[in-house]
Every structure is written in structure tokens, then in C-alpha cells.
């Protein structure tokens, strides 16, 4: 990639870049520049083979260099820029590794007036207890995050080049604004260092007298590892980022003060809740970190087997989202049981926390929401990141359009490519101000208003998300808002609003709402998600000798299309112990193997089974004869194009599947129904789980690529399915 890389300041960081660049063949020549006083260090770098040459003369060091990487402490940056300025070459890429970015930008501006187009600020998040060039290794940055914080004046071409350079070194590259970087790092790195330094300082002084360290065990060592870091470097970093650090230290003092008070008062419950919340939060962060940094997770399924046993799948995703939204807007404290502890529902939960709602949990599916009332949400400090969750984004767009503050809604790659005009267009007719990308996708920039007007909206597609979005906006609009749906879709929003005492009138296909209602906190019991149960309804139907009971599944009639369709295909599903829990019907479902037959799926059932088609296609592949689906165009705009992706994957597995514009034709086979092979989940949890279930009737192993997305709706899928008998690793 480069002819000559010049490292300014060759220690652990610079030395490790040099070693990695050499090992991966990213340049022909690497040199180091340092001060005369550091000559021994430069000599050592050469002796160790880390660099080809070293210089104490800056001009000689820079000659012919097409990449310059500044690896000095952030406090020395201004001085370094001053030295570089007379020899600055517009064709060279300059970058750095500083842990604070605002201070680096300020140093560049102090010397150059504005940040040069070819200086791209960067920060590799990696370190080690040891310092110096002798501690450098070629894999210091491997599988670690590298943050680029470009500024407006930066060259796009060089930004891309630097990003590729770091990716080739093995880092996971992200791009962030300078201020976001400094705020994030203050919390996740700088504050923990201050804590570790100050704790060891306190205990170290005590130890002189009391020998505490003699009894210190692993926990102490783990917690204080970072207090072994270089004091000069950390002094520099903390001074450079004190703007972000001081408020955090103040918040921490308040938190410690509260804990102190709980101890003084013998108040064990809130203390327990604090510890429990922290433990859960840490686990979530670790999961997210594992996901972000992974080593992609693939599922390997050995062919055959049967499913047997009794399980309870996790809570309903649609209801979990809505419980947080309505609980937050309610007056009083709402207790939720059975909440889905998965990324999509947690994205909604995090969004409401960011808008000032105190939410405890989830602890074993229990969430406590301290409602702030219909007008009580606060403006979030950052854009609300909603991950992969279409429900969060579409429902929130309606709810936030009528607030008095502004918000920005963002999501991951899949969510950012899904159509949002279906909500922003009707909201605009209500007077909402929402900007999207030119093609109608997220981010959504919402300018809040208290001037929304009611509309009568006839939806062009059957979508619970669009219906819910308009009804939530209707809670803030002048007049009576009415939505008419072309076919029945899930009605959890309407039911739950009524459960909170907020009037919603329903008359056939029409639902109406006005702004004069109020939400009163209530207790919510979320049943198991029939969309997650669906994988086992199909799995146990197609795998010989299977017998599975799924407990406490929500069987709201707007969701039971899967049972109706499977029964039409000849499935043996028993609905047992039907009961009503918090306004939603619930039952235990027993399913046993049966020989399915192909059918023409009635179009009226499509919206009632919309999320279950990926796994229903697997059922169709094992059924005798042809199955035809029509009227399901909506499947093309889910987390991926579920028609095309399933058709492609099934064909790879030897199934006769043909995608049509609005559905699929599958010629099922009773014997050798599905072959083996490698299929891609295309960032879609339901695709990943459906192809895993296909393994039950496959003739050879199936590998499903990229399955970490299963965490968005059903993190326990792997454990529960293997418990029942799926041979998944
Ligand atoms: O939330 P998201 O990403 O849109 O999730 C999906 C899913 O498969 O989990 C769709 F891809 O479910 C939607 C569902 O398809 C959840 C939902 C709801 O909770 O209101 C409604 C349906 O979407 P739509 O577009 O038909 O309204």
C-alpha cells in the first residue's frame, strides 16, 4: 500500500504498527524518527528489526515517505506538527494514534490554521501493560477496534486508504465524530483508568501500614491491571480530555454517595437492584462486544434427528417493544413480566432510557418502568440507535413526531435500507416534520411539533407497524385519527393501549384514537413469541418421531396464521390450556410429526403469519406436492428480501423453489427433501433459524453463515433447539 512509512515516536504502539505492516506486506520500507535523547530506543527498534532505518533529522526521515504515523503522546502533538510543517507534502497520508481526538485536532489547527486534508485522525483501541518498542507485537491490533474521526476538510480518498490499511492489519474499523469519540472514550477508558489509579493510590498508602495487598486476590488484580499503564501518557490523556472526564467523575461521586447512603440506611433492595442491573448490563455489553468483534458465528447442522421435549420460548417481541413504549408514557410504575431480553427489544428500552425514563431490568424477564406521563419524555442527547429493529423505528417515528423536541433515529445496515416512507408520508400529512435520505430510508431526522392534526388514513399495505405508528402519532394530534387496514394485522398496540386505559375504538378494519386519553400504569405479562415457537412447530412437524410442547405461547388471533397454515398442510398441532393473560390469549401448543402436504396458502392468512414464511418454506420443501404462496410482497422489505433469499438458499440445498413477485412456488419432496450445503442468513435472524431447522430433513450437513443476528429476537435459539434435539453447533 505504501512505499515508505515513517513512524514518529517508536514505542509499543508505533512498533506494533510497524511489525504488523511489515508482516502483512503493506509497505516496502519502514523508518522511525525520534529525538537525539531517545537514540537508544531508536537503535533498539532497528536491532529488533522493527524498522529498517531511524533518523534524528526530521527532513531525512520524511524524504519519500508516503505515509507518516504520529505515535507520540497527545501532549506532544503540537510540537510534532510544528516540526512537520516545513516539510509537509500534500501527497503524503498523515495520521496518528492519539487516545483523545479534540486535543489532536486543536493542535493541528494551532499550527496549520485548519486540519490539513491529508491528516486523518485515528485511534486504535489497543494497549498492553508493558510499554516500549521491545513490547511491540504484530498482533496488538488484531481483532481490536480502530476509530477514525475524520473532519470536514479530510480527503475521502485518503480516509478510505487509511481504513483499508487498518483493516489489513486486522482491526475492526469504525468512523465517529471527534466529540462522540472523546465522550465514549472518557467513559469507557479514561474514567476506568482514573478509578484504577486512585484506588491503588489509596490502598497503596494504607498498605504501607496495614499489609492489605498481602491478602489481595484475583479481583483486585483484574480491577487494577490498568493502573500499571504509563503515568506520563495517562496524565496527558486525562488533561487533554478533562472536559468530558470531569462531569463523569461528578456523576460517579453521586453514584457512590447513593451506595454509601444505602449502606448507612441498611437499604439492601436498591443496592441489590444496582448490582443486578450492573451485572446484566455488563453481560449485554460483552455480548455486543463479542458480536461486534466476532469472528462471524456460523451454525453447522448435522442432518436428521427429531425434536422432543417441553420448552418455553422467550417473550413476544412485538409486545415487549410496546410494553416499554406505553409503560414509559404512562403515569405510575408498570411491571412487565416475560420481557424479551434480545437486541431488538433492548434497542427500544435503551431509546426510552435515553429519553429520561427510569427503567429497571430486565432481570429474568422482569422490567419495571417508572412512567413519565404522555408529555414527560426528554430530548435525547444523541441520535437513538435502533440496531436491526424495524418495529422500534417505525413506531417511534409516530410517537416522536408529536413531541416538543427533536430526535434522530438511526439503525444498522439492514434497518437503514428498509422503506420508511410508508410511515413518514402519512405522518407528513398530519403535519409531522421528518427528513429521510433521498430514497426514503433512515436516518430519520424528526423535528418535534405540537401542531399535529388527525387524519383518516387508508393503509395501502397490511402493516401493523404503519397502523401502530399512526395511532401513536394520533395520541398527540388534534382531532380523531382513524386508520383503516386492508387486512387484519397484529393488534397488540390497540389491545395494550386499552390495557393502559387509553381509549382506542375498533370497528372492523378501522381503529380510531384521539389525544384526550391518558395512560395509567399497569402490569403486563408478555407471553412467549409465536414467531419464535414457529421454528419448533415446523421442526417437530417435519422431523420424524418428534413430540414437542411449547408452553405459554401467545395465540392472539392476529398472529396464529402459522397454526392455520400448518394445519391446512396436515400438521398435528394441539392447542391446550387456552387462557387469557393480561388481555392476550395464551395456550400450550403440542406438536407431533406428520407428513405434510402442499397447499395454496390462502391470502387472507398472509398478514397473520407474515414473519413465519421463511420457516414455512422449509415445511413446504418437505411436504408432498406443490405449495404456492401469493400476496406476500411485503416479505421483500423485511430484514432482507425474504422471498429471494429463501428461494436462493433452498435452491442451493437442492429444493425446487421458484421466487415470484409476491410469493413462492415450492415443489416439495417426501424423500430426500433437502440436501446439504452452505447458505447465507443475509443479516436476517429468521432466515438463519429457518435454514437451521431445514437440517432436520437434510441429507447432508448444512452450514448457515452469519448467524449472530439470531440475537435480535431469539438469543436462546441455539440452546433450546439443541435441547430438543437439533444437531446444531
Ligand atoms: O421489527 P422488525 O425488524 O420489522 O421485525 C419483523 C420480524 O421478522 O421480526 C419483520 F421483519 O417483525 C415485524 C412484522 O413483520 C414486527 C411487527 C410489529 O411488531 O408491529 C409487524 C410486522 O411488520 P409490518 O411491516 O408487517 O408491520
User: Does any domain span residue 697?
Assistant: yes
End-to-end CA separation in angstroms for the chain: 39
Pocket test for ligand 1, best of 465, 640, 711 (most atoms within 8 A of CB): 465
Q: For residue 362, is the peptide bond before it cis, meaning its omega torsion is within 30 degrees of 0?
A: yes
Q: Are residues 347 and 251 in the same domain?
A: no
Is any ligand 1 atom within 6 A of the Cβ of residue 394? no
* 721, 539 contact by CB (below 8 A): yes
> 15 is written with which cell numbers?
512498533
Q: Are residues 534 and 499 in the same domain?
A: no
Is any ligand 1 atom within 6 A of the Cβ of residue 485? no
- For 644-697, the pLDDT digits (tens) are 999 999 999 999 999 999 999 999 999 999 999 999 999 899 999 999 999 999
Secondary structure of 361-407 in the HEC alphabet?
Answer: EEECCEEEEEEECCCCCCCCCCCEECCCCHHHHHHHHHHHHCCCCCE
Which residues span the domain enclosing 157?
A: 2-176
Residue ending a domain, choose from 516, 547, 575:
516
State mean pLDDT over 360-385.
Answer: 93
User: Does any domain span residue 521?
Assistant: no
Q: Are residues 248 and 342 in the same domain?
A: no
**Comparing C-alpha atoms, which of 542, 471, 501 is closest to residue 696?**
542
H helices present in 27-125, as ranges: 39-47, 58-62, 77-84, 102-112
Pocket test for ligand 1, best of 390, 396, 609 (most atoms within 8 A of CB): 390
Q: Are residues 38 and 163 in the same domain?
A: yes
Distance CA 97, CA 72 (A): 8
Q: Reply yes or no on whether the pLDDT at 206 is more than 90.
A: no
- For 97-147, the pLDDT digits (tens) are 999 999 999 999 999 999 999 999 999 998 777 778 999 999 899 888 899
Q: Reply yes or no on whether the pLDDT at 288 is more than 70.
A: no
Query: Where residue 53 sits, what CATH number does that domain have?
Result: 3.40.50.720
Query: Where residue 189 sits, what CATH number does that domain have?
Result: 1.10.3660.10
Q: Are residues 598 and 681 in the same domain?
A: yes
* 435, 401 contact by CB (below 8 A): no
User: In 180-192, which positions are buried (b, 16+ CB within 10 angstroms) versus exposed (e)?
Assistant: ebbbebbeebbbe
User: Does any domain span residue 279?
Assistant: no
Q: Are residues 48 and 192 in the same domain?
A: no
How many domains are there within the chain?
4
Is any ligand 1 atom within 6 A of the Cβ of residue 464? yes
Q: Are residues 578 and 512 in the same domain?
A: no
**Comparing C-alpha atoms, which of 121, 138, 227 is closest to residue 178?**
121
User: In 281-309, which positions are buried (b, 16+ CB within 10 angstroms) versus exposed (e)?
Assistant: eeeeeeeeeeeeeeeebbbebebebbbbe
* 596, 625 contact by CB (below 8 A): no
Strands 407-410 and 384-385 come out as parallel
> 366 is written with which cell numbers?
422482569
Q: Which residue has the cell 403486563?
A: 524
Is 0.85 surpassed by the pTM of this model? no
465 Cα–ligand 1 center, Å: 7
User: Does any domain span residue 292?
Assistant: no
Q: Reply yes or no on whether the pLDDT at 68 is more than 60.
A: yes
> 463 is written with which cell numbers?
402493516
Distance CA 138, CA 129 (A): 16
* 568, 562 contact by CB (below 8 A): no
pLDDT number for residue 185: 92
Residue ending a domain, choose from 495, 516, 537:
516
* 5, 29 contact by CB (below 8 A): yes
Distance CA 531, CA 540 (A): 15
Give the active site residues.
611
Q: Are residues 137 and 199 in the same domain?
A: no
User: Does any domain span residue 286?
Assistant: no
pLDDT number for residue 444: 97
pLDDT number for residue 517: 96
Mean pLDDT rounded to a whole number for the chain: 94
Amino acid at each position: 500500500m505504501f512505499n515508505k512509512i515513517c513512524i514518529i515516536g517508536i514505542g509499543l504502539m508505533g512498533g506494533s504498527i510497524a511489525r504488523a505492516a511489515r508482516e502483512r506486506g503493506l509497505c516496502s520500507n519502514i523508518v522511525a524518527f525520534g529525538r537525539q535523547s531517545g537514540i537508544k530506543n531508536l537503535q533498539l527498534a532497528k536491532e529488533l528489526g522493527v524498522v529498517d532505518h531511524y533518523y534524528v533529522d526530521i527532513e531525512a526521515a520524511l524524504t519519500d515517505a508516503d505515509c507518516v504515523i504520529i505515535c507520540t503522546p497527545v501532549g506532544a502533538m503540537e510540537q510534532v506538527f510544528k516540526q512537520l510543517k516545513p516539510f509537509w507534502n500534500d501527497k503524503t497520508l498523515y495520521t496518528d494514534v492519539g487516545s483523545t481526538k479534540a486535543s489532536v485536532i486543536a493542535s493541528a489547527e494551532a499550527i496549520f490554521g485548519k486540519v490539513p486534508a491529508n491528516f486523518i485522525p485515528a485511534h486504535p483501541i489497543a494497549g498492553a501493560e508493558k510499554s516500549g518498542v521491545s513490547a511491540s507485537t504484530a498482533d496488538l491490533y488484531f481483532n481490536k477496534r480502530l476509530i477514525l474521526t475524520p473532519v470536514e476538510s479530510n480527503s475521502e480518498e485518503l480516509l478510505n486508504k487509511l481504513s483499508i490499511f487498518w483493516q489489513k492489519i486486522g482491526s475492526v474499523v469504525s468512523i465517529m465524530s471527534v466529540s462522540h469519540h472523546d465522550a465514549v472514550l472518557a467513559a469507557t477508558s479514561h474514567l476506568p483508568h482514573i478509578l484504577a489509579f486512585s484506588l491503588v493510590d489509596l490502598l497503596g498508602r494504607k498498605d504501607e501500614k496495614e499489609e492489605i495487598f498481602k491478602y489481595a486476590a484475583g479481583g483486585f488484580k483484574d480491577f487494577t491491571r490498568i493502573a500499571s499503564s504509563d503515568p506520563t501518557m495517562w496524565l496527558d490523556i486525562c488533561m487533554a480530555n478533562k472536559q468530558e472526564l470531569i462531569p463523569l467523575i461528578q456523576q460517579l461521586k453521586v453514584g457512590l454517595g447513593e451506595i454509601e447512603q444505602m449502606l448507612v440506611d441498611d437499604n439492601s433492595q436498591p443496592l441489590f437492584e444496582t448490582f443486578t442491573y450492573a451485572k446484566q448490563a455488563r453481560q449485554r455489553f460483552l455480548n455486543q462486544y463479542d458480536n461486534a468483534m466476532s469472528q462471524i458465528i456460523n451454525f453447522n447442522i448435522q442432518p436428521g434427528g427429531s425434536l422432543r421435549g417441553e420448552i418455553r420460548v422467550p417473550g413476544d417481541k412485538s409486545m415487549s417493544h410496546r410494553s416499554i413504549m406505553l409503560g414509559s408514557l404512562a403515569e405510575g410504575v408498570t411491571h412487565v413480566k416475560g420481557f424479551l431480553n434480545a437486541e431488538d427489544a433492548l434497542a427500544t428500552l435503551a431509546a426510552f432510557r435515553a429519553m429520561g425514563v427510569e427503567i429497571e431490568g430486565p432481570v429474568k424477564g422482569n422490567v419495571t418502568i417508572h412512567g413519565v406521563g404522555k408529555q414527560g419524555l426528554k430530548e435525547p442527547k444523541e441520535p437513538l440507535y435502533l440496531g436491526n429493529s424495524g418495529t422500534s423505528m417505525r413506531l417511534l417515528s409516530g410517537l416522536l413526531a408529536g413531541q416538543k423536541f427533536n430526535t434522530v433515529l438511526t439503525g444498522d445496515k439492514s434497518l437503514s435500507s428498509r422503506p420508511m416512507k410508508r410511515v413518514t408520508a402519512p405522518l407528513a400529512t398530519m403535519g409531522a416534520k421528518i427528513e429521510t435520505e433521498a430514497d426514503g430510508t433512515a436516518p430519520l431526522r424528526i423535528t418535534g411539533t405540537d401542531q399535529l392534526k388527525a387524519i383518516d388514513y387508508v393503509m395501502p399495505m397490511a402493516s401493523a407497524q404503519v397502523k401502530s405508528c399512526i395511532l401513536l402519532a394520533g395520541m398527540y394530534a388534534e382531532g380523531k385519527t382513524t386508520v383503516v387496514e386492508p387486512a387484519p394485522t397484529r393488534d397488540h398496540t390497540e389491545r395494550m393501549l386499552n390495557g393502559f386505559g387509553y381509549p382506542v375504538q375498533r370497528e372492523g378494519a378501522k381503529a380510531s384514537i384521539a389525544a384526550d386519553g391518558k395512560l395509567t400504569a399497569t402490569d403486563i405479562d408478555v407471553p412467549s413469541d409465536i414467531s419464535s415457537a414457529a421454528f419448533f412447530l415446523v421442526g417437530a412437524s417435519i422431523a420424524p418421531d418428534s413430540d414437542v410442547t411449547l408452553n405459554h405461547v401467545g395465540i392472539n388471533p392476529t398472529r396464529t396464521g402459522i397454526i392455520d397454515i400448518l394445519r391446512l398442510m396436515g400438521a398435528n398441532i394441539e392447542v391446550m390450556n387456552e387462557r387469557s393473560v393480561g388481555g392476550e390469549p395464551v395456550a400450550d401448543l403440542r406438536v407431533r410429526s406428520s407428513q405434510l402436504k402442499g397447499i395454496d396458502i390462502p391470502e387472507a392468512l398472509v398478514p397473520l403469519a407474515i414473519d413465519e414464511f421463511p420457516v414455512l418454506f422449509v415445511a413446504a420443501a418437505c411436504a408432498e406436492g406443490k405449495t404456492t404462496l401469493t400476496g406476500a410482497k411485503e416479505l421483500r422489505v423485511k430484514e432482507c428480501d425474504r422471498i429471494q433469499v429463501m428461494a436462493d438458499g433452498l435452491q442451493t440445498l437442492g429444493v425446487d423453489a421458484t421466487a415470484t413477485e409476491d410469493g413462492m412456488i415450492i415443489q416439495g419432496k417426501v424423500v430426500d427433501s433437502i440436501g446439504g450445503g452452505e447458505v447465507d442468513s443475509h443479516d436476517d435472524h429468521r432466515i438463519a433459524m429457518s435454514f437451521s431447522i431445514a437440517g432436520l430433513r437434510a441429507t447432508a450437513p448444512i452450514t448457515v453463515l452469519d448467524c449472530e443476528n439470531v440475537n435480535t429476537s431469539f438469543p436462546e435459539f441455539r440452546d433450546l433447539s439443541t435441547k430438543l434435539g437439533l444437531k446444531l453447533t
